A and B are shown apart, each in its own frame.
Chain A
Amino acid sequence: MSEPHPRRAAVTGIGVVAPNGTTTETFWKSTKEGISVLDRVTREGCEHLPLRIAGQVREFDPSAAVEERFLVQTDRFTHFAMTAADLALDDARLPRSDTDGAPFSVGVVTAAGSGGGEFGQRELQQLWGKGSRFVGPYQSIAWFYAASTGQISIRRGFKGPCGVVAADEAGGLDALAHAARAVRRGTDVIVTGSTEAPLAPYSVVCQLGYGELSTVADPVRAYRPFTSAACGFVPAEGGAMLVVEDEDAALERGARVRAFLAGHAATFTGASRWEESRHGLAQAVRGALDEAGLAPEEIDVVFADALGVPEADRAEALAIADVLGAHGRRVPVTAPKTGIGRGYCAAPVLDAAAAVLAMEQGIVPPTPNVFDICHDLDLVTGRARAAELRTALVLSRGLMGSNSALVLRRGTAGAAQ
């Protein structure tokens, strides 16, 4: 064994339920091939609404993975979360039999930006359409933001530190950082991430007030960040869960250390103040690099926030230049979310999952539907690009003004063949 060292937060498992794939493998295949699955919103009751395009998870059968008694008391966002957590734990080869003996050593931390909207709308309809005694017993536990953390903890028997960041988009990275810190403080494993299901009709109506929402009806043109045709973002559902684990604990049980959550910082610059986000994002990147002990030029790939609003895109390009300097014009930048949409807190978690896979395989996935970049960035468009990736920087900004940066390092197991 090596010398005693500070505890390090390793990623040992990934579980994805995304619009472009309901397993990690299918997600990564579609992501690296740059396939866009943005399409017409077809959820019941949404057809007439001005939001035309979204990233929907179309082939998802929660009953294949989750027991009926958990399904009836939860919303779609928690169905995604329980399924993704199972996938991540399977991927980490961490079966129930391994965790049952030490339940306090495993915690759950999720981020939630919209809660159980479909369940909530159904129960509101019961209350206002029929009367208060028609509200069911599960409304109190299905709609609230903590539902996914609580249900994963209960279903899998995890009694470790549990947390919920109820957040804008950047909160997805904050949840991962929260998990990494819990691991550094002494918990062996945290199952962490975010899944969202914001496409029930009333949830869509709530989002129409976001000035940044794209209402363009052409799936190819609806979400085109960093171009002169940028017209806002397209929302999405689904998300990812990761298993974050103390490196030594992982090695001891023979798990694969796929990546490290090496550095994170979060700042705030005000809702929709996109010009200001340049400074907030730059400050977050500096903080994350500092915590990771990396120099700016050691960043090998950037997963951009890519909001798709001209002033926000400009601010992000400038923030990258501010911190990375000349390296910022050479480092590959990508935004695979243009092919699946922006799933609120889940969006940067999917980026973090893609970053781990990208580092493992030495492949930068492309940015679908985007060409003719009008910023001084090396945005990877068209086809995936092969590159030696030892580190990755994931950026995220929220509509309510948060900025977060997460630095990942490649793990020690299973690097590119």
Chain B
Amino acid sequence: MTRRVAVTGIGIVAPGGIGVPAFWDLLSHGRTATRGITFFDPSGLRSRIAAECDFDPGAHGLDAEEIERCDRYIQFALVAGDEAVRDSGLDLARENPWRVGVSLGTAVGGTTRLEHDYVLVSHGGRRWDVDHQEAEPHLHRAFSPSTLASTVAERFGARGPVQTVSTGCTSGLDSIGYAFHTIEENRADVCIVGASDSPISPITMACFDAIKATSPNNDDPAHASRPFDADRDGFVMGEGGAVLVLEELEHARARGARVYCEIGGYATFGNAYHMTGLTKEGLEMARAIESALDHARLDGTAIDYVNAHGSGTQQNDRHETAAVKRALGRHAYDTPMSSIKSMVGHSLGAIGSIEVVACVLALAHQVVPPTANYETPDPECDLDYVPRVARERRLNSVLSVGSGFGGFQSAVVLTRPREKTP
């Protein structure tokens, strides 16, 4: 018997509001949370805008010791994790802990603290032979990427497979995909999954500046993230975290849990082309979509909504449009496809899971979130991008796709519980 995988809880820390209600309010109203950087003085940078979270960890249940010990991206995961587990109604104390896993993604992990302490030990970038006595006590936790999954696992008492996944900007889809396999293949019954990143720091902003991947539209930050628009000029950096509770379907039913939807299929491939470049054809992303659909035993025509990677770089949006057309054929033209990065920016490894939460909510509300700021069509991007205004629509199966540095292309299919579909 195949084991099916249900989503039974969601939690989120995203720009524009903390928690699921605030997040959905932002998306369903098409508001944007991008602004000028306030975390540090960005002068000298080409892109000085970002989607920052107004996040007070103390107000969301973290104590002083946790706040001191945990990097910001881990704080996001803890707060989103609390919300997701509460939402699921799971009493984790009653679960067999060896059957509870954690799978969390991050692209840049603890780099913000690594950079902060680097400045101290290098005396402001002057010494290669750094002065270890200036280092702060929790630096090793920033150095080890497994701190993310480990800290969340300790909080929820998970003793099963616990892993941090780091495939650049597809991390947040792949972390869900890995856990999907883990439950499907009977290595766990419950997995706390998701992703988190807090990359708004000088080194990360500077390294994307260096390859001109981020938008220089500093004069109009609220409208700077323009996926699929002809005038798009790069992505706007974001931050945030999202956590979902995945659960074997019968396990969820046995305890009478609300099932938001199922993870129907997942696949990932490499493009073997370029670390940051994408082909025009989108062959590998199309293959990931087709393979995820196969896994879900769905035909492309079953897809009712595509949650796009839609980063707002010239090449990404062309690539992705081609890939979706290749995978869904004519049906692509009848399928709404939007990018929430227009509203919450691109939080690197976190965004994949944030987008899956958006898909879960789209299914729950039967509403497609829009692509904010979309005004001027690009002849090479000729699909229905749901300009500016959310749209009610009957949604049974939705697709979320992502592209990452390294050439990674991932796809996740979500479906409403089948007995409810006509």
Chain B, residues 92-136, CB within 8 Å of chain A (1/0): the string is 000000100010001111010011011101101110111010010
> Among the listed A137, A166, A185, A205, which residue makes an inter-chain contact with B165, where contact means beta carbons less than 8 Å apart?
A166
Asked whether any CB of chain A lies closer than 8 Å to the CB of B185, the reply is: yes
CB distance from A353 to the nearest CB of B (A): 22
Q: For window 34-48 of chain A, which residues contact chain B by CB distance below 8 Å?
A: 44-48
Decide if the interface of chain A is mainly helix, strand, loop or mixed: mixed
Q: Do A166 and B146 form a contact, CB below 8 Å, given A124-B125, A171-B163? A: yes
Chain A, residues 118-162, CB within 8 Å of chain B (1/0): the string is 001101111111111101110111011111011101101111111
CB distance from B266 to the nearest CB of A (A): 10
**CA gap between A155 and B235 in the complex, in Å:** 27
Asked whether any CB of chain A lies closer than 8 Å to the CB of B158, the reply is: yes
Considering only CB atoms, which chain A residue lies closest to B43 in the complex? A132
Q: Do A150 and B45 form a contact, CB below 8 Å, given A113-B145, A168-B146? A: no
**CA gap between A159 and B282 in the complex, in Å:** 12
Q: Do A44 and B269 form a contact, CB below 8 Å, given A112-B145, A113-B146? A: no
> Among the listed B45, B139, B147, B165, which residue makes an inter-chain contact with A400, where contact means beta carbons less than 8 Å apart?
B147
Considering only CB atoms, which chain B residue lies closest to A117 in the complex? B143
Is A140 touching B276 in the complex (CB atoms < 8 A)?
yes
Asked whether any CB of chain A lies closer than 8 Å to the CB of B366, the reply is: no
**Which stretch (A20-28, A267-275, A329-337, A370-378) binds chain B?**
A267-275
Asked whether any CB of chain A lies closer than 8 Å to the CB of B325, the reply is: no
**Which stretch (B15-23, B238-246, B308-316, B399-407) binds chain A?**
B399-407
Q: Do A144 and B166 form a contact, CB below 8 Å, given A202-B130, A401-B150? A: yes
Is B166 touching A208 in the complex (CB atoms < 8 A)?
no
Is A127 touching B202 in the complex (CB atoms < 8 A)?
yes
Chain A interface category by residue count: 35 or more
Is B128 touching A45 in the complex (CB atoms < 8 A)?
yes
Is A127 touching B125 in the complex (CB atoms < 8 A)?
yes
**Which stretch (B205-213, B225-233, B250-258, B382-390) binds chain A?**
B205-213
Considering only CB atoms, which chain B residue lies closest to A402 in the complex? B162
Is A266 touching B150 in the complex (CB atoms < 8 A)?
no
* Residues in B whose Cβ lies below 8 Å from that of A266: 160-163
**CA gap between A269 and B159 in the complex, in Å:** 6
Chain A, residues 292-331, CB within 8 Å of chain B (1/0): the string is 0000000000000000000000000000000000000000
**CA gap between A55 and B382 in the complex, in Å:** 56
> Among the listed B142, B160, B206, B408, which residue makes an inter-chain contact with A127, where contact means beta carbons less than 8 Å apart?
B206
CB distance from A326 to the nearest CB of B (A): 25
CB distance from A358 to the nearest CB of B (A): 27
**CA gap between A282 and B85 in the complex, in Å:** 28
* Residues in B whose Cβ lies below 8 Å from that of A208: 132, 135, 140
Asked whether any CB of chain B lies closer than 8 Å to the CB of A206, the reply is: yes
**Which stretch (A60-68, A79-87, A103-111, A240-248) binds chain B?**
A103-111
Is A108 touching B270 in the complex (CB atoms < 8 A)?
yes
* Residues in A whose Cβ lies below 8 Å from that of B141: 209
Considering only CB atoms, which chain B residue lies closest to A129 in the complex? B125
Is B174 touching A151 in the complex (CB atoms < 8 A)?
no
Is A159 touching B269 in the complex (CB atoms < 8 A)?
yes
Is B44 touching A166 in the complex (CB atoms < 8 A)?
no
**CA gap between A158 and B202 in the complex, in Å:** 34
Asked whether any CB of chain B lies closer than 8 Å to the CB of A164, the reply is: yes
Is B102 touching A268 in the complex (CB atoms < 8 A)?
yes
Asked whether any CB of chain B lies closer than 8 Å to the CB of A239, the reply is: no
Asked whether any CB of chain A lies closer than 8 Å to the CB of B345, the reply is: no
Asked whether any CB of chain A lies closer than 8 Å to the CB of B379, the reply is: no
Chain A, residues 197-216, CB within 8 Å of chain B (1/0): the string is 00001111111111000000
Asked whether any CB of chain A lies closer than 8 Å to the CB of B273, the reply is: yes
**CA gap between A205 and B122 in the complex, in Å:** 11
Asked whether any CB of chain B lies closer than 8 Å to the CB of A165, the reply is: yes
Q: Do A144 and B158 form a contact, CB below 8 Å, given A157-B272, A266-B163, A268-B153? A: no
18 contacts between A and B (CB under 8 A): A103-B272, A123-B203, A124-B122, A132-B44, A144-B405, A158-B272, A162-B269, A162-B270, A163-B167, A165-B164, A165-B166, A202-B121, A202-B122, A204-B132, A205-B139, A206-B135, A209-B138, A401-B153
9 tightest Cβ-Cβ pairs between the two chains A and B: A150-B406, A128-B125, A209-B140, A129-B125, A166-B166, A206-B143, A166-B145, A268-B162, A145-B166
